[in-house]
Amino acid sequence: MRQCKVYVNGTEAGLLTEEDSGQYRFTYLVGYAGRAVCLAMPVRSEAYTSDHLFPFFFNMLSEGANRKMQSQLLHIDENDDFGILLATAQTDTIGAVTIKPM
C-alpha cells in the first residue's frame, strides 16, 4: 500500500491511497471545507474508489518522451503511474493541487 497527502492551494485536503490489490481510494479529511480537488470529486465524507488512478491525478502526469525520461532519471517503472505521481507532483504543478508522499 502506498499513500500520499493531497493539498489544494497549500491546504491539506485528503489522502490518496493505492491498495496492494491495485485499487485506488481518495478520501477528504474530516472537516475539510475548502475547494474540491476537481469537479468530478466534490467534497464529501465517503471515499472515492477506482480500479484505475483517478483521471484528475493521472492527468497530472507527463506523457511520451517526458514520461520516459522521468522514469529513467527517477528509476521508476514507466508504467507505475502512482510512483511517478509521488515523485513528480510535489511542486511546480499546473493548478492548485500538489501531492506529498507519506
Tally of domains within the chain: 1
The neighbour count for residue 13, using CB atoms within 10 Å, is: 24
Q: What is the per-residue pLDDT across 6-23, written as a single tens digit (0 to 9) for each?
A: 999 999 999 999 999 999
Q: What is the pTM of this model?
A: 0.92
Q: Roughly how many angstroms between the first and final C-alpha of the chain, as a whole number?
A: 11
Give the mean pLDDT of 31-40: 96
Widest distance between CA atoms in the chain = 41
Q: What is the per-residue pLDDT across 37-92, written as a single tens digit (0 to 9) for each?
A: 999 999 999 999 999 999 999 999 999 999 999 999 999 999 999 999 999 999 87
Q: Which domain holds residue 66?
A: 2-101
